Structure 1
Amino acid sequence: MRRLKDLGQNELEELVNYVRELRGSGKGYSEITRIVFAEKGIKISRATVLRWCKGKHEPFNKIKLVKLEPSPHLSYVIGVYFGDGSIGLSEHKYRIRLKVVDREFAEAFARALEDIGANARVYVESDGRRDRFVAEATSKFLYMFLKQPKEALFEVAKEYPREFLRGFFDSEGCFNFNKNERQGFVSASNYNREVLTFCQKALESLGISSKIVLTKRKGTTVKIWGKEYQYSSDLYEIRIYRKDDLSKFYRLIGFTISRKQKLLEEYLGIHKK
């Protein structure tokens, strides 16, 4: 059994329309509650059905809706979510959050959130060593949307692969230069190989070849800020090596973060005025 508070935005909109269609076909209020429970497994009171049908209560009056149909901005948000972005529930607030060192990245994420209808803000947090820029929004429906299985999010993101990849590479990506081999490559790391496999397919759809490699095995020791930690899972990395593929990446995707973009431009010999 599910309750109204368990429904996502699209499900709730569909339910309201369904209830009104049943009423329009002559069904009684109590009968509608039974039909909804039998067909959809959703418990809804007779009083709620009556209010919806008489227009005395619109379920979205106090809730800010977000645009959850496929779009460039939503794909960017999904890409960031699979990278540095996070969601959380505290004090009955559904938060979507990004905490990073680059202001331009935080501001780009905030703009994407605003573009899909979520009120976002950017502020600074300090941990005593350096400042971090935080982009944050509260939205129950966006929170529930992002909590879906990753396969459902992939279906949305693949409609706009460039924006998804830009969000992901803004989060996890960097430009590397191997001095010994004098070769540069763009890479992005993630513990979830399925996410990188989706990125690889999205890159292929744009004509960009890439390779996925295992870079750190579970249990490998690493030192961060003077403390030793162990990797709790295998860490994978997707890499783009060939110069023509790097040129396509630069033209079609690129980095929002200027310090990353400039390294790629220098390697490709791109000089901007």
Structure 2
Amino acid sequence: MKNEKITIPRSKLKGLYLKKRKSTSDISKIYRCNPETIRRRLIEYKIKRRLYEIKINIKKDDLVDFYENKNLSFKDIAKKYNCSQWTIRENLLKNNIKLRKSTSFLKWRDPGNTLNPNLSSSPDISYILGVLLGDAWTYKYKNNSFIGLDVLDYNFCKCFYDTLKKIGLNPNIFQKKKYWRTIASSKLFYNWFNNLTIEDIRKIALDYPIYFLKGIHESEGCLSINHDKRYNRSYLILIIVSCEENTIQLTKQLIEGLGFHPRLNLRKYPPGDKRKPIWVLNLGKQEEIKSFLNIVNSCTKNLETMNQKLYKYP
């Protein structure tokens, strides 16, 4: 027994194909037939093919630029030429352009990888570098690259969060156990920062010294109260510490550039102790401490307490 010919009114087919712009595959699903049947009906009814279904040849250089250099998907390229994704695929194969694995495109399209932060030298970048040479961190897990900060002080965490947003990142801030965390995902930032040399960092810090010092001070700085038994008098010392000599020497250079007179000492642990020696930079003159705090203008929640201590022991 022969299959009965499927009846598809010409006006109905024309409306679906030209007005509603449905594909032959979509129309075949409506009539529960093979897409080839729909194509034959189009020929039979002399319904002209839509323009974007006509074979399109795309220059190889353009395909390489869109697909390999700019990492565009079939869909994105197809929109540029008003054609189907399969047309793009056929042109790639015809030009011997190797197709990406779907997983590689998904890796690149991770939200953090598509951000384009402003990484040029600026006050915000200088501040971020200061924090990164202290408490902040970067790390990579599988296809994701992160920059973050874990601290007890919410104001410090929020200040870092705001600065990351200013350069075009999309950070989150939340409380985890007893501390606050700011974290952002960015492959470009991660690669940029981890390829910086100390000279690259020095150049940015010298361009915007106050912002770098603000970052390193909020990360590694504190005020210590010392008591002089000889004169029965208490006084304050501003301290910045680091295990990295390059970091502390740069910090010292910047502080001296502002007209202050810091001292630098190296504290070593007893033999057998595996901890790294610590470089300790301090300001002891009370007027210099006041001036430094006013210039740096720290955003930490301890600033008010620090000033109270400072003016309590002039």
Q: TM-score with structure 2 length normalisation?
A: 0.61
Match of 1:178 among 204, 208, 226: 226
The structure richer in strand per residue is 1
Distance (Å, rounded) in 1 between the aligned partners of 2:207 and 2:60: 40
Does residue 48 of structure 1 match 2:64? Answer: yes
The structure richer in helix per residue is 2
Match of 1:193 among 238, 245, 250: 245
Question: Does the CA-based 8 Å contact 1:218-1:231 persist in structure 2?
Answer: no
Go from structure 1 to structure 2 and tell me whether the alpha carbon gap of 1:231 and 1:104 turns closer, same or farther (over 3 Å shift). farther
Go from structure 1 to structure 2 and tell me whether the alpha carbon gap of 1:50 and 1:254 turns closer, same or farther (over 3 Å shift). closer
What are the residue-to-residue correspondences of 1:107-126 with 2, within 5 Å? 107-126=158-177
Match of 1:253 among 269, 293, 296: 296
Aligned to 1:7: none
Aligned to 1:14: none
Aligned to 2:277: 234
Match of 1:146 among 193, 196, 206: 193
Instruction: Give the partner amino acid of 1:232.
Output: R
**In the TM superposition, what whole-angstrom CA distance separates every residue of 1:59-108 from its partner, at most 9, and x where no partner exists?**
99972111111111111110000000000000311100100111111111
Question: Does the CA-based 8 Å contact 1:174-1:260 persist in structure 2?
Answer: no
Match of 1:67 among 101, 114, 118: 118
Distance (Å, rounded) in 1 between the aligned partners of 2:187 and 2:280: 32
**In the TM superposition, what whole-angstrom CA distance separates every residue of 1:15-65 from its partner, at most 9, and x where no partner exists?**
xxxxxxxxxxxxx988xxxxxxxxxxxxxxx95346669x987x9997211
Question: Does the CA-based 8 Å contact 1:102-1:132 persist in structure 2?
Answer: yes
Question: Does the CA-based 8 Å contact 2:198-2:246 persist in structure 1?
Answer: no
Question: Does the CA-based 8 Å contact 1:219-1:233 persist in structure 2?
Answer: no
Instruction: Give the partner amino acid of 1:48.
Output: V
Question: Does the CA-based 8 Å contact 1:243-1:268 persist in structure 2?
Answer: no
Determine which structure has more spread, i.e. the larger CA radius of gyration: 2
Distance (Å, rounded) in 1 between the aligned partners of 2:153 and 2:260: 27
Q: TM-score with structure 1 length normalisation?
A: 0.70
What 5-or-longer segments of structure 2 have no aligned partner?
1-58, 78-107
Aligned to 2:142: 91
What 5-or-longer segments of structure 1 have no aligned partner?
1-27, 31-45, 221-229
Instruction: Give the partner amino acid of 1:262.
Output: T
Go from structure 1 to structure 2 and tell me whether the alpha carbon gap of 1:94 and 1:253 turns closer, same or farther (over 3 Å shift). same
Aligned to 1:216: 268
* Aligned length, in residue pairs: 214
Q: Which has the higher contact order (CA 8 A, sep 6+)?
A: 1
**1:219 Cα deviation (Å)?**
4.6
Instruction: Give the partner amino acid of 2:200.
Output: A
Aligned to 2:82: none
Instruction: Give the partner amino acid of 2:182.
Output: A
Question: Does the CA-based 8 Å contact 2:130-2:212 persist in structure 1?
Answer: yes
Match of 2:214 among 137, 155, 166: 166
Aligned CA-pair RMSD: 2.9
